[in-house]
Structure 1
Amino acid sequence: MDVILRDTKEKILINNKNFLKNFNESLVHQIIVAYLSRQRQGSKAQKNKSEVSGSGKKPWRQKGTGRARAGSLRSPLWRSGGVTFAAKPRKFIKKINKKMYKRALQSIFSELIRQKRLILFQNFVIEKPKTQILVSKLKKLNIKNVLIITLSIDNNLYLAARNLYQVKILSVSKVDPVSLISFKNVLMTVNVYKNLEESLI
């Protein structure tokens, strides 16, 4: 399968082994859930009955006062008492092996190519760090919602895109499945494509 470069109109032959696979929805879902789980801090913490400050002494005698029986000032029933099922710091990481991760990325890229949402350029450069320059360039290409993948973060491109909520810049080493499916189009240069082709073997 060929993809035509937008700037030079040349044809690039797509590697059938890596980028023309069937879309594995269950695998992609599993990878995305695992990726989002890793973003969770898991640092929430509360104090249980044994951890809150306060005396362990019985506040009043068991019988004869007319009041409800109580054994501790730190009871979860009381104001400033401990939490019954206190949350503790935890890790939400789900184990995903490298082979599964690569297969999921191959599946996503394959679907992008089939839907003609992958846009290739020989060169994609912004001369100045001006948002208007990038906006006008994307407007000419009729592209609104786009993830731009570069070999390394270009300062001009990054500064031009940082105020555009429908445009995101990522280096090829930071590509993640959530970003790939969050944007309508994915734009990259031929060099980036070749780098991905090698890394996803």
Structure 2
Amino acid sequence: MSSQHEQHTTERQQRFLRLLDPMRPRLSRFAWAMTRDRDEAEDLAAETIAAAWEGFGQLRDESAFPGWLLRIAVRIHRRTRRRRKFWGMFSQEHAEQLRDTSTAPDVAAEIRILYEALSRLPERQREAVVLFEVADLPLEEIQQIQGGTLSGVKSRVVRGRERLAELMTERPATNPERTPASNGIAPENGTATITIPTAIHR
């Protein structure tokens, strides 16, 4: 009986890791974009993985794992935010942390500008943009995470992008792979697009 239990646990761990491994970069990107702090991002990712492992037996459809994992991350992040004061603008300390990475200086500057702009969005708007642009979730899964209507999610993404475009006017650019039109979301003013620096997608 003990041997069978150990075998079942091992198989469960293997299935979990098989699903988790390709999601680690997306989870890390989400955690960093939402916290803008290396230690907090690592804590958020670690807590998410621990909670996902604990609840893995409840997941019936393995194809739903990406959205399920990020829903856990969102829930933990919201809970953590309620417990402590929100750090507002992107700080110089975070910029120093970015300089410690191997990211090229020009890309690091773009990332700093983007994260500073993201931090100025309303919370749910920022969450929607990060889930869509950084974590690469489809709108339907973001709706499951945030609740409300699909049109509400689209509106938050569009308005978030437009606001980011306003905040990043000194560096206008178009990302052909992740533009509002290419994802079925038309900018309300017909002009706002943003570029997500490629270093974020590592």
**Aligning the two structures, in what range does the TM-score lie when normalised by the shorter sequence?**
under 0.3
Q: Of Structure 1 and Structure 2, which has the larger fraction of its residues in helix?
A: 2
Q: Of Structure 1 and Structure 2, which has the larger fraction of its residues in strand?
A: 1
| TM-score, normalising length: structure 2 | 0.22
| TM-score, normalising length: structure 1 | 0.22
Q: Which of the pair has the greater relative contact order for Cα pairs under 8 Å at 6+ separation? A: 1
Whichever of the two has the greater Rg, that structure is 1
